[in-house]
Structure formats: C-alpha cells, structure tokens
Amino acid sequence: MKKIHFLLILLIFTACKNSEEQSEKRQLSQGKQVEISHATGFEIETFGSYSIIEVKSPWPNAEESFKYLLAEEDATIPEGVKYDQKVEIPVENVVVTSTTHIPALEALEEEKTLKGFPGLDFISSVRMRELINDGALKELGKNENLNTEILIDLEPDVVIGFSIDANNKAFETIQKTGIPVVYNGDWTEETPLGKAEWIKFFGAFYNKNEESKIIFEQIAAGYAEAKELAKTAEKQPKVIAGSMYKDQWYMPYGNSWQATFIEDANAQYAYAESDGNGSMSLSFESVLADHQDADFWISAGQFTSYEQLFSTSKHYRQFKAVQDKNVYSVSLVKGETGGVVYFELGPQRPDLVLKDMISIFHPDLLPDYQRTFYKALEE
C-alpha cells in the first residue's frame, strides 16, 4: 500500500510539473510580433503585460545580440523567459546618450522623462533647450567618459546607450548598481526608413506601441509621397557628397543611407556603384578627375561659406558645382548652443531630408519649400 501511495503522489507531482511547463510554453508561444518593416537591427514581441526587445545589431559586425524584458509592475513572467536586462514600464525617468534619441522622445511626448545627457550643448531641439535652461536635465560629461556618479544619483529607470563595440566600462559600472542599460543600434541601419523605425523601440519603453506605429507610418507615407514626386523630374543631375579631411576626400558608399537619399531624390550619385561600410577614402585628384562636372555637391562637411571653402584649397574652384554655387551643407542650421540640427533630427525625419534634396535637385517640383537641414553655402 505504501508503494502504491508513493506512486500516486509521484504521478500527481509529475502531472502538475508537466502542466506548469506546458503553461509556460503556451505563454512563451503566445507572443505577438510588432511589425518592423524597414529596420533590421531589432525585434519586439509583446505578451500582454510584458514584452521582449531583441537588439540584433547593437554595433557594426556585432557577434552577439541582446534581449531586454520590458514588464509592467504586476506582470507575471514565466520562468523560461531569458533576457539580459529587465526594465519596468512605462518608464518615468530615463537617460539617453545620443542626440538621435531626442526626437523620438519628443514625438512620443515624453521629453520630460529625460533627466540627464552627455553633452547638453549638442542638443538643438527648442523644447529640450527650454528644459535644459530650467535645470531639468543634468550634464553627464562625454559619451566616452560618462560621469557615472551623477548618472547613478539620478536613479533612472533605464539608460539607453550606444557603443561602437563590446567594451564599455561606464555601462558596466552603471549596471552593477542595478540600473539597467540597454543598447540602441539605430545608427547601424543602412536605410533612411530603417533608422526612423527605431521610434518603435522607444515606444515600447512607454507602453506606446500603437502611438509609435502611427508616427512611423506618417513619416514613411511622407517619404513615399516625396519619392514619387521626385520621379516626375525630367532630368537627373549628377551629385557628389562628403568632404576633405587632411589629404583624403571621404565619400559615402553607394549602399549608404546618404546615397539612398540621393537616389530617391531622382539624382545620379557619382559613386552609386560602390559598396562598403563607413566612407570611401579618396584622393582629391581622383574626385576632381572623375567628377569635376558634377552638378551638385551636398553634405560639404563643416564648410558654411565659399570663403571658408577657398581658404582651405583654391582647387575647389575647378568643380562645376562650386562655379555654379550649387554646394549645400547641413552645418548652417544649428541650435542655440551650436548643435547641428541634422545630426539630431535627420535620422528620425528622413521625409524632411528627402524633401530638402528634391528641392535642391529639382526646385521646380517644390518651388515654395523651406528646407529644414540643407542650406546653400554663404557667399
């Protein structure tokens, strides 16, 4: 009888355990994928009161991905869920580390949750400048040398960071205190809409998946509309980009997001057939010999005037684009403390970048358009 009794208990225990395991498996398999149509660096799966974000490209050529568990306060998390960091949502106090993160917070109307940033002078947003001037944001030093003491005192719910590789001692120090650090890889995306879609990444931290979806759809629709308009242009001007640094001209590759803008604006990029990561390093002589006849030169580095251009090298005068005064730069549009607006807002608003380029290459298509980022070099 004792043996029978023991076997019955064992069977009941095993059945309960199997039932629990099956329940966990059902919960793990009942997630819903958030639609990500252009970005390749992250995925979001929602499970009601919690979700999991997987960042697949935290930096170029990353050999590892990261999973982040975003859970509401009363969420029940199955034991089988694996993650690198856990964040309670919706977050109320955050630290971000790149100006490209700022527009997403503003679009979601969550800019007041930002409590600290490394390099406040680089922030150009008028709304953010008001918060800074009111003392609502703390200066955290520089990205490569974060003031971890001030950051830890802020007690943020999460630090949204970025890194060029797997080595970041500041982030390791922060995580040891119990503050979660999550990597954002928006800057690794190779297409304009891919970068912009990372607003869905930010939306998840505020329980605003639907809001972020609507915002992105509006941006994508505006981009598509501008692209269709550009197709009606009768001519395709030839375009060069980039600028000289020391003795090398750094030109974006043909598969870069900058080159995509030029193509979608219905223009011919001089190096459209090239392929690679980062920027090509070319000699001034080779660019001059091959593309002296380019109609436009855009993204001309830090140059803001022709006088500044010629003081660097009189040989720039040989380019047709320079002779025709068709050189455009993003460095003329800055915030009150000198931050370049393009580097902050451009990745989040590719629709505005594309319209800027269309108005430059095909002015008859957008005759009254006021450019957001690109301005002609000053005389």
Whole-angstrom distance, CA of residue 21 vs CA of residue 18: 5
Whole-angstrom distance, CA of residue 175 vs CA of residue 110: 24
* Residues in Cβ contact with 87 at an 8 Å cutoff, skipping those fewer than 6 apart: 68, 69, 70, 71, 157, 158, 180, 182, 205
Dihedral over Cα of 149, 153, 156, 157: its sign: positive
Domain borders along the chain are: 30-219, 231-376
> Hey, what are 115's tokens?
């409590």
Cα–Cα–Cα angle for 305, 306, 308, nearest 5°? 70
> Hey, what are 178's tokens?
């119990």
Please state which CATH number belongs to domain 30-219: 3.40.50.1980
Do the domains 231-376 and 30-219 match in fold? Answer: yes
Fold that domain 231-376 belongs to in CATH: Rossmann fold (3.40.50)
pTM for the whole structure: 0.90
CA-derived radius of gyration, the chain: 25
pLDDT, one tens digit for every residue, the chain (379 residues): 555 554 455 445 444 445 444 444 445 557 999 999 999 999 999 999 999 999 999 998 888 899 999 999 999 999 889 999 999 999 999 999 999 999 999 999 999 999 999 999 999 999 999 999 999 999 999 877 899 999 999 999 999 999 888 888 899 999 999 999 999 999 999 999 999 999 999 999 999 999 999 999 999 999 999 999 999 999 999 999 998 888 899 999 999 999 999 999 999 999 999 998 888 999 999 999 999 999 999 987 888 999 999 998 888 999 999 999 999 999 999 999 999 999 999 999 999 999 999 999 999 999 999 999 999 999 8
Cα–Cα–Cα angle for 7, 8, 12, nearest 5°? 115
* Residue listed under structure tokens 């600028």: 243
